Amino acid sequence: NAGVTQTPKFQVLKTGQSMTLQCAQDMNHEYMSWYRQDPGMGLRLIHYSVGAGITDQGEVPNGYNVSRSTTEDFPLRLLSAAPSQTSVYFCASSGGVAGSIYNEQFFGPGTRLTVL
């Protein structure tokens, strides 16, 4: 049971480039989310999904796209990278037996992204 996995661990982009951050979980969780972590600002929700085919925007969605074609995967796409997107990105999942709403979120190890 690998939990929540994220790739890559580190990435450097040039302004204007696009890329996809990968996230996968093997716990059959319904809920998955993407956060960015910036110094002094905690974790801010970018996008989330409550099941395959269902996504919604969080607090800071601009410049990011998501899709959820399977329960396991929830990739985050940067359409045209900007220096303001330099951050650490965390994917998280939650759910479990009978979709229990009491369950906490399980986090991946993060992706450290630098946009030059």
By the criterion CB under 8 A, which residues form the site for another protein? 4, 30-31, 33, 35, 40-45, 48, 50, 58, 90, 92, 94-95, 101-102, 104-105, 107-110
Amino acid identity, residue 71?
T
Answer whether the bond into residue 8 is a cis peptide, omega within 30°.
Answer: yes
What's the one-letter identity of residue 67? S
Question: Percentage helix, strand, coil, to 5, in the chain?
Answer: 5, 50, 45
Judge contact between 38 and 89, C-beta under 8 A: no
Q: Which is nearer to another protein, 48 or 64 (CB)?
A: 48
C-beta closer to another protein: residue 79 or 101:
101
Partners of 12 in beta bridges: 114
Which of residues 4 and 21 has its CB atom nearest to another protein in the complex?
Answer: 4
